[in-house]
Amino acid sequence: MSELPEWLQSLLPPGWTGWHVAVATVALAVTSAIVSIVVIGYVLSQLPADYFVNPAARGPIKRHPVVRVVLAVVRNFFGWLLIALGGVMSLPGVPGQGVLTILMGVMLVDFPGKNRAERWLLTRRGVLAGVNKIRARLGKAPLLSEVPAEN
């Protein structure tokens, strides 16, 4: 590998070469892919099976108003972060479950038309089938939807 640019070398620990950067990049990509799959699987397994067909399943939990506002801000921040990360993971050559990560972010964020957007994302080819495969592996019932599931 050729010599690293001066600006990049100044950001790295002393003695790092291009090979160190390549190995660290691959390790980070593999780790982020594994972590995203585990976290997404966990979150998807916690959804009620009727989340997309029963409005009451998406209703807010009663909490103190201050706690509700703080949780809404944190939830929206992480939701937009997941949407951005999912967009990056959807690019060719970037590891990770991009569409599923976007779905998780959309479910966290509050915006007008959210239910319609979730349903649209669920109708993308293979998304519902992929979500239900993950849920089946974790011993959970498949998500119900008016959208026909693909096999």
Predicted pLDDT at 70 = 93
From residue 26, give the alpha-carbon distance in Å to each of 23, 32, 52, 122: 5, 10, 37, 31
Q: Is the entire prediction scored with pTM above 0.95?
A: no
Please list the alpha-helical segments (H only) found in the chain. 6-11, 18-46, 65-89, 98-108, 114-122, 127-137
pLDDT at 97: 72
For position 149, what pLDDT does the model report? 53
pLDDT for residue 80: 92
Q: Is 47 exposed, middle or buried (0-12, 13-18, 19+ CB in 10 A)?
A: middle
Q: What is the mean pLDDT of each run of 10 residues along the chain (151 residues)?
A: 77 87 83 79 83 74 86 91 86 74 81 80 80 89 71 50
pLDDT at 150: 54
- pLDDT at residue number 49: 86
φ/ψ (deg, to 5) at 124: -65, 145
Query: In this predicted structure, what is the pLDDT of residue 1?
Result: 47
Q: Could you give the C-alpha distances from 38 to 27, 31, 42, 96, 105, in angstroms and in order? A: 17, 11, 6, 11, 15
Provide the residue ranges of all domains of the chain, joining segments of one domain with +.
16-137
Tokens representing residue 15 in the block: 């003695």
Residue the block writes with tokens 């979730």: 118
Q: Which residue in the block uniquely carries the two structure tokens 């957007």? A: 117
